[in-house]
Amino acid sequence: MTEQAIRNFINQQQRSQLVPQDHSNSDSIINYENIHIHGNNPHTFYEQNSSTNTELEEFKNQVKIWMRLDNEIKEFTKQIKMLNNEIKQRKKYIENLTPFILSYMSSNEIEELNSKDGRLQCKVSMVKPPLSQKDLKLKLYNQFPNNAEDLDKIFKEREKVQKTSLRRLM
């Protein structure tokens, strides 16, 4: 969301009395120096104790760093997305060229092609496809038809792991 969109949203909220008028300058809300803490017990952060103020300042600094890094990640993600699109186009082009090259090399019995940019080798090999959970279940049920309940139990009782993360809402 752009800063202008944020300003427009804040102004809209002020007009409908959802945001107090003392925040009339939308720049003050966007500014990282103006971080407001919301929680169950906000008074613990605002005590006049100097150690608490130091702790609060450290917290605000950490939040600023986190926000800056998150912005950098978003920018890098845009660049990566653009590069991935370029890679995808080139791979598709290679994919379209490959059958012709392989056909020509095969029909003319060319196993290896040398050029100034490198070598191309026509190689045939046998590989096994990857084993998916669906394939695994099917093969196990066919191999052990009397133990279907035990197999179901194994797949249903897979371990679950709790994951806690911090995410940014815009």
In a domain, 139, yes or no: yes
Give 98-156 pLDDT, tens digit per residue. 999 988 888 998 888 888 888 888 887 888 888 888 888 888 888 888 888 888 888 88
Please give the model's pTM, rounded to 2 decimal places.
0.43
Q: Which residues are within 8 A (CB) of 68 and not within 5 positions of it... i.e. 6 or more apart?
A: 32
Residue 42: pLDDT over 70 = no
In a domain, 128, yes or no: yes
In a domain, 76, yes or no: yes
Domain that holds residue 122: 53-145
In a domain, 35, yes or no: no
Give the pair of three-digit tokens for residue 149. 């309940």
Give 10: exposed, middle or buried? Use CB within 10 Å, 0-12, 13-18, 19+.
buried
In a domain, 10, yes or no: no
Q: How many domains does the chain fold into? A: 1
Phi (first) and psi of residue 90, to 5 degrees: -70, -40
